[in-house]
Amino acid sequence: MAIKGLFLSNAGVVSDRIGDFAGALLQLHAGGTAPLLAISSGMESEEGGDTVFAWFEETKITGRTNVVSGGTTTSVTVGDASSYVAGTVLLVEETGEVMLVTAEASNVLTVIRGIGGTAIVSLTGSHNVVKIGSAFEEASSMPVAVMNQGVVYTNYQQIFRNSWSVSGTAKVVSFHTGDKVAKSKREAAGFHAEDIERAMLWGVKHVGSLNSKPFFMMDGILQQIKARGGKVRAQATNVTMAEFRDFLRDIYSTNIRGMPNERIAFGGNIALQTLNESARKDGVHQFETGETAFGLKFTKFVSAFGDLTILTHPLMNESPLWQKELYVLHPGAIKTRWLRRTFRDDHDKSGSRSNGKDADEGVITSQTSVKVLGAQTMGIYTGIDTSAASA
């Protein structure tokens, strides 16, 4: 049970005071740390100038698209021809035919079919083409320029506040836990960190008015991953290592230029247990005389595409739903943005600043937000609660 201040002289924890029946205080934390906020101290950080901020993000143009229609004609309609101009060389993946684009208009390509003697096969909606280069004639005219089209994203700066308070009586009574003011400040700081951590992960963007004043909430990392092309997978059946590898392969298929292709994952206890069980069922175990321990501790996944470090997140174990989830993040692509760095306004000068209250008190305030760059490099895996061996 949370204790909202100690303004009553008897509002402390039972048996907290010296002379009470029990002398020790045991504090249990089902969740009480903020690892993401702690890790963010090593991530890039920005100073904000307004409650609303925006950033511009570009995605590399891909050279692949689907065929809508074409048959054996020289007019081929594709799903997206934005990166194709006259001189583009295309390969039909399913048939091996090579085509040269001579013109493009509204996703309709005019092409030369069967380049290099490749077989011309009737094109249907089941085919795909991929760019394999470009080719131009001697003394050719300047080709049409192709540019990436960026997208603008926005988020809001959210205000976080947590207070501490200790009555005048509680200040002078001796406690096994030491200075009551220091303890109250320390706990307020812990709750403050947790509140920021929760919003950074699960926050939902909102703007409005509260008590006739502007009110802002930010989109957390998960909302940004879901809204901007991150890999989201809901597990409906037993998890196998093969399925987990497929999920990671999709995530590692996109990376941010100049950054190592590494990720960190936060998971609940059930998700981590299930992944360890899946690894055990897919592995081979050898026992020798004298063995006294058995088990598997799987906290790092090494693949041909990149490495994944897996950590337990204490707050995820508060919810039966979150215990079965895994959030794969790209630390280099997450930035915190601060409008006001954390500060404390204390009224603890032995009552001289307490406005007549027989108590000392204070408040911790932060105004911050988070932005996710390249959400396609991250993913969310939900429903991880049972394991199976790969087929």
**Residue 234 confidence (pLDDT) above 70:** yes
**Looking at residue 293, what is its pLDDT?**
52
Q: Is the pLDDT of residue 71 over 90?
A: yes
Q: Calculate the alpha carbon distances from 90 to 72, 99, 126, 204, 207 in Å.
A: 15, 5, 16, 43, 47
pLDDT of residue 51: 92
Residue 355 has pLDDT above 70, yes or no: no
User: If pLDDT is split at 50, 70 and 90, which confidence band does 20 have?
Assistant: very low
pLDDT value at residue 168: 77
Q: Predicted confidence band at 297 (pLDDT cuts at 50, 70, 90)?
A: low
- List, for residues 146-159, the tens digit of each pLDDT value: 777 678 889 999 99
Residue 303 has pLDDT above 90, yes or no: no
Note the pLDDT of residue 257: 74
Q: How confident is the model at residue 5 (pLDDT cuts 50, 70, 90)?
A: very low
Region 291-313 average pLDDT:
72
156: number of Cβ within 10 Å: 21
pLDDT higher than 70, residue 391: no
Does residue 154 or residue 1 have the better pLDDT?
154
Segment 53-74 shows an average pLDDT of 86
86-105 per-position pLDDT tens digit: 999 999 999 999 999 999 99
- The CA-to-CA distance between both ends of the chain, in Å, stands at 47
pLDDT given at position 283: 61
Query: Over the stretch 45-60, which tens digit does the pLDDT of each residue have?
Result: 788 888 999 888 776 6
What are the sequence ranges of the domains in the chain? 35-50+159-201+224-284+294-382, 64-134
- Round to whole Å and give the CA distance between 52 and 155: 6
| Tens of pLDDT, residues 158-190 | 999 999 888 877 777 776 667 777 888 888 888
Q: Backbone dihedral region of 295: left (phi > 0), alpha (psi from -120 to 50 degrees) or beta? A: left
3-state secondary structure string across 148-212: CCCEEEEEECEEEEEEEEEEHHHHHCCECCCCHHHHHHHHHHHHHHHHHHHHHHHCCCEEEEECC
pTM of the model: 0.76
Q: Out of 2.60.120, 2.40.10, 2.30.31, 2.60.40, which CATH number does the structure's domain 64-134 have?
A: 2.40.10
Alpha-carbon span 242 to 132, nearest angstrom: 31
Q: Tell me if residue 20 falls in helix, strand or coil.
A: coil
- 91 in Cβ contact with 191 (< 8 Å): no
Whether pLDDT at 30 is above 70: no
